[in-house]
Amino acid sequence: MINTSTIILAGGLGKRLGYKEKALIPINGKPIIEHTIEVLEEVVDEIIVSVRDDRQKQLLEECTTGRIIVVDKYVDVGPLAGILEGLKAAGGEYVFVVACDMPLLNVGVVELLFKRAQGHDGALPVGDDGIYEPLHAVYRTGPMLGRTEKSIEQGERFILAPIFDLEDMVLIEMDEIRELDPELKTFLNVNTLEDIEKYNI
């Protein structure tokens, strides 16, 4: 029985990396997406990888062996397109949505988000500055699927559009997350070549 799923969003174009395939960029000797998968294997029953097109799917198949890979139906919609297709494929009642460029995910933090989401529409981390982390959050699959479809149909590409439409989201403060991950490394992502050098130390 599948209770929990995760959607790894790998469809980004990697503009700040010179349009390199971000999911395949090596961190400590292996593609960044493999780091993400290894961490999430400890937490969820099902891993779904979301890609932008069939060409990218072929590129990622080798390092995502045995995983469900979904391809965007909508073009130029941004992360919501990948989230939508992932939600359609998800077998779990709750799904952790994460960007593929977070190689330092914390198992305890992901487990906390699933725990806090139970009985609600989801659990969304919020930074000390009030900024939300929608691509490191847990959502109840059904409500999030409906809201994401609605947002895309209405031309709302803002990543938080469907989330703000959910009625019962639990906000998780950073102080609670720091108890498990004092340096908040779980939220670190690779956006530049300097980031890559930093993580390869």
Q: So what's the pLDDT on residue 201?
A: 39
What's the rounded mean pLDDT across residues 126-155? 97
Q: Which tens digit of pLDDT belongs to each residue from 38-49?
A: 999 999 999 999
Q: Which tens digit of pLDDT belongs to each residue from 74-120?
A: 988 999 999 999 999 999 999 999 999 888 999 999 999 999 999 99
In angstroms, the CA 88 to CA 79 distance is: 14
Closest CA to 197 of 4, 17, 1: 17
- Report the Cα–Cα distance between both ends of the chain, in Å, rounded: 40
Residues comprising the chain, all counted: 201
What's the rounded mean pLDDT across residues 144-152? 97
Cross-strand pairs, 4: 94
% of the chain with per-residue pLDDT over 70: 93
What's the rounded mean pLDDT across residues 50-69? 91
Q: Tell me: pLDDT of 65 over 90.
A: no
| Residue 1 pLDDT class (50, 70, 90 cuts) | low
Q: Which tens digit of pLDDT belongs to each residue from 156-187?
A: 999 999 999 999 999 999 999 999 999 999 99
> Which pTM value belongs to this model?
0.93
**Strand-pair category, 30-31 with 136-140:** unpaired
Instruction: Please give, one letter per residue, the 3-state secondary structure of 124-193.
Output: EEECCCCCECCCEEEEEHHHHHHHHHHHHHCCCCCCCHHHHCCCCEEEEEHHHHHCCCCCCHHHCCCCCH
The CATH code belonging to domain 4-199 is: 3.90.550.10
Burial of 86: CB neighbours in 10 Å, binned 0-12, 13-18, 19+: buried
Name the helix (H) or strand (E) containing 69: strand 68-71
What's the rounded mean pLDDT across residues 150-158? 94
